[in-house]
A and B are shown apart, each in its own frame.
Chain A
């Protein structure tokens, strides 16, 4: 007779087998047997959050900064519905999450029992897959399968719903059979011909560009190294999406900055004018492409992606290579070195005119802004934060809005997995709990949430979590008292009708910090900003930094809606723009 284990024990045996060291959760009636079992498993540390959405985002932060799946444990009903936002966020941004939820006992399912909800029904569209465990003998296999689905191919969230009676029932435990499976091995059989075709296109191109995304980060740190090698070997310019920041050094000369709606002038114009676009691990999102009919009209397009359904979804491409970024770049580099050892030399001349053009666009200095000595410009605040933290291995999370775009524009990332932001879903309130998760994974590192005052209030309660676990996260709030991005759109598109975008009653963030038991710092003038930031960095406790910034500042440059890449509007610093302000406004 094999030894029998309860469902709750099996859950932990699976977590141990999967090498899980931290789970983020919140107890409740339908998961109590699992919580009861927690004490017997020292290798799995539970982080108690204050709201299940916080658990989900913390697990996302953990996953994105480590490359390992994040694990969430919630109860039935409201526990499960509260985590839906985080699951959807993870689904949109391809973050591996395993969410375990309690459910009412099997005999009560369908009776509208206390804290019952159709969890698998609700989470079906926002997970890669989910399971309702109806038989204790299936539990171990489902748990292991859940980790496999979450982490292979294009990563994403999964959910395992375990009724309370299953948690008590007993069964034998089958150990995990380790499969030596590569990330997405099932979709990794691209052909050598397609690689040859890619190199053929690369050697013909006179105006090439790499357009890379989060897929490079998801493919592991090695993929970022290989990407650098590929970019240096070819001498091509590179632009990355919001999620791709960090895969290539942000201060490198070949880097054109981020592209898209708030991308740089040079990156977007290069995308429009190029004759070869090599998309590596990005998905032609609508914030990237602008008007799709006029998206990069003159280019041959190559798309490298692990998800076959990403190919030709938004933009038709000329060459599709379905595979893991790391493997595809490895083959490309190998073939390139063998077939064209002098690629860089022959290529330099061919692309010299292209680089001249790019320099011309660059000279527009599209990220410039008009400085001030009286008020702190938000861009200036990010610049100073970058300058004062760039020598440390800093992890940045953000909320969603203007501050997020300014952070993406002005903070320069040199390593992958250092930038955690909600791109696809655009979840306000993501950054603070994500910072909690990042700090759990990297206790010795500097973790900063660049936040807006509106976003951060959505999940502010997680400061209490940070205090409980002595996590010295820094919440750097660019406080303009407005939902800044909403205000910006209302200014530009809705005749300055600032409908409900001003928060007339905000808490005193310094006092709030003290109430939570952490440290509050406020900066009001550009003069004192550096000293205050240094004070924040020297504080070995959680800090809420209330940075009072210019309330009217807009985020530029910007592609107005329905416009292609070559019709950006630049900031007020650009003289030409000043001349056509009137007309430029109506164009938006």
Chain B
């Protein structure tokens, strides 16, 4: 062990990291996103992606979906710390591997080039619910919805087919079946 010159102890053993999707229901009020995001940055937690929007205008509730990685202990802390925030109503936590939960992200691709190239690109997009949103004789804008890794792959593979710009959302999540998270 190296000689310590610090008043603090050494970092402990590294544990395995898991990816979790944390869903937070909050009052839609000024600064609420800053509270949630500030908690993550202040305590050194990861944010891989973030999606937030109001889901109930009557009750003024927003739903924040955060993809994060951490040890089981850190994931527990994230949930418990979130629950302590005053505007937070409830917190759900899903493992990415969880088969009972649907995760989706959306991406917009702008393709520029000759029609042959663009057609190949659109063909490759087909299995991800491709929707053509804009079309000119030199370009197309395509929307797909898929998992994060699928979009990563697509964004990489489409470069040779004239992909010039990518815009994507964070993940949103919902449980399968009739059950609702309480």
Binding site for B on A (CB under 8 A): 120-121, 124-125, 128-129, 132, 134, 149, 286, 290-293, 307-309, 311-313, 316, 489, 493-494, 560-562, 586, 588
Contact with A along B74-100 (1 / 0, CB 8 A): 001100110111100000000000000
A262 CB to closest chain B CB, in angstroms? 12
Question: Which B residues are in CB contact (< 8 Å) with A313?
Answer: 73, 77
- Find the A residue at minimum CB distance from B1: A562
User: CA separation between A291 and B12, bound complex, in Å?
Assistant: 9
Question: Which B residues are in CB contact (< 8 Å) with A562?
Answer: 1, 4, 6, 9-10
B81 CB to closest chain A CB, in angstroms? 5
B81 near A309: Cβ-Cβ < 8 Å: yes
Question: Which A residues are in CB contact (< 8 Å) with B8?
Answer: 286, 561
Query: Would you list which residues of chain B between 1 and 38 have a CB under 8 Å from chain A?
Result: 1, 3-10, 12-13, 30-31, 34-35, 38
| B57 proximal to A (CB < 8 A) | no
| B44 proximal to A (CB < 8 A) | no
User: CA separation between A63 and B181, bound complex, in Å?
Assistant: 40
Question: Which A residues are in CB contact (< 8 Å) with B81?
Answer: 309
Q: Which of A120, A149, A316, A560 contacts B86, CB < 8 Å? A: A149
| B42 proximal to A (CB < 8 A) | yes
A309 near B77: Cβ-Cβ < 8 Å: yes
Question: Which B residues are in CB contact (< 8 Å) with A292?
Answer: 9, 12
- Find the B residue at minimum CB distance from A291: B9
User: CA separation between A520 and B121, bound complex, in Å?
Assistant: 85
A568 CB to closest chain B CB, in angstroms? 15
Question: Which A residues are in CB contact (< 8 Å) with B6?
Answer: 561-562
- Find the A residue at minimum CB distance from B5: A493
User: CA separation between A586 and B34, bound complex, in Å?
Assistant: 46
Q: Which of B9, B31, B83 contacts A120, CB < 8 Å? A: B31
Query: Would you list which residues of chain B between 97 and 124 have a CB under 8 Å from chain A?
Result: none
A259 CB to closest chain B CB, in angstroms? 16
B12 near A293: Cβ-Cβ < 8 Å: yes
User: CA separation between A121 and B8, bound complex, in Å?
Assistant: 29
Question: Which B residues are in CB contact (< 8 Å) with A561?
Answer: 4, 6-9
Q: Which of A121, A290, A313 has the most CB of B within 10 A?
A: A313
A309 near B34: Cβ-Cβ < 8 Å: no
Question: Which B residues are in CB contact (< 8 Å) with A290?
Answer: 9
Question: Which A residues are in CB contact (< 8 Å) with B84?
Answer: 128, 307-309
B75 CB to closest chain A CB, in angstroms? 11
A432 CB to closest chain B CB, in angstroms? 25
- Find the A residue at minimum CB distance from B6: A561
Q: Which of B3, B13, B73, B85 contacts A312, CB < 8 Å? A: B73
Q: Which of B6, B8, B9, B86 has the most CB of A within 10 A?
A: B9
Q: Which of B3, B30, B77, B83 contacts A586, CB < 8 Å? A: B3
Question: Which B residues are in CB contact (< 8 Å) with A588?
Answer: 4
A148 CB to closest chain B CB, in angstroms? 10
Question: Which B residues are in CB contact (< 8 Å) with A293?
Answer: 12-13
B interface residues, how many (CB within 8 angstroms):
26
- Find the A residue at minimum CB distance from B34: A124
- Find the B residue at minimum CB distance from A129: B86
A255 CB to closest chain B CB, in angstroms? 27
B14 CB to closest chain A CB, in angstroms? 12
Q: A120-B31, A121-B34, A562-B10 are in contact. Are A308 and B83 (CB under 8 A)?
A: yes
A554 CB to closest chain B CB, in angstroms? 14
A187 CB to closest chain B CB, in angstroms? 10
User: CA separation between A134 and B76, bound complex, in Å?
Assistant: 35
Question: Which A residues are in CB contact (< 8 Å) with B5?
Answer: 493-494
B162 CB to closest chain A CB, in angstroms? 42
- Find the B residue at minimum CB distance from A494: B5
User: CA separation between A560 and B10, bound complex, in Å?
Assistant: 12
Question: Which A residues are in CB contact (< 8 Å) with B35?
Answer: 124
Q: Which of B31, B42, B73, B86 contacts A128, CB < 8 Å? A: B86
- Find the B residue at minimum CB distance from A293: B12
Interface pairs (6), CB distance under 8 Å: A121-B31, A124-B34, A291-B9, A308-B84, A586-B3, A588-B4
User: CA separation between A120 and B3, bound complex, in Å?
Assistant: 42
User: CA separation between A312 and B9, bound complex, in Å?
Assistant: 18
A132 near B77: Cβ-Cβ < 8 Å: no
Q: Which of A124, A493, A560 contacts B38, CB < 8 Å? A: A124
Question: Which B residues are in CB contact (< 8 Å) with A316?
Answer: 73
User: CA separation between A588 and B86, bound complex, in Å?
Assistant: 43
B86 near A124: Cβ-Cβ < 8 Å: no
User: CA separation between A290 and B8, bound complex, in Å?
Assistant: 8
- Find the A residue at minimum CB distance from B74: A313
Q: A562-B4, A562-B10 are in contact. Are A308 and B80 (CB under 8 A)?
A: yes
User: CA separation between A371 and B31, bound complex, in Å?
Assistant: 58
Question: Which A residues are in CB contact (< 8 Å) with B10?
Answer: 291, 562
Question: Which A residues are in CB contact (< 8 Å) with B34?
Answer: 121, 124
Question: Which A residues are in CB contact (< 8 Å) with B30?
Answer: 132, 134
User: CA separation between A132 and B4, bound complex, in Å?
Assistant: 45
Q: Give the top 8 A-B pairs by smallest Cβ distance, nearest first.
A: A309-B80, A129-B86, A562-B4, A561-B4, A562-B9, A125-B42, A308-B80, A309-B81
Given contacts A286-B8, A309-B83, 18 further A-B contacts (CB under 8 A): A121-B34, A124-B31, A129-B86, A132-B30, A134-B30, A286-B9, A292-B12, A293-B13, A308-B80, A309-B80, A309-B81, A309-B84, A493-B5, A494-B5, A562-B1, A562-B4, A562-B6, A562-B9
Question: Which B residues are in CB contact (< 8 Å) with A489?
Answer: 7
Question: Which B residues are in CB contact (< 8 Å) with A286?
Answer: 8-9
User: CA separation between A489 and B5, bound complex, in Å?
Assistant: 9
User: CA separation between A402 and B129, bound complex, in Å?
Assistant: 67
Question: Which A residues are in CB contact (< 8 Å) with B76?
Answer: 312
Question: Which A residues are in CB contact (< 8 Å) with B31?
Answer: 120-121, 124, 132
A17 CB to closest chain B CB, in angstroms? 21
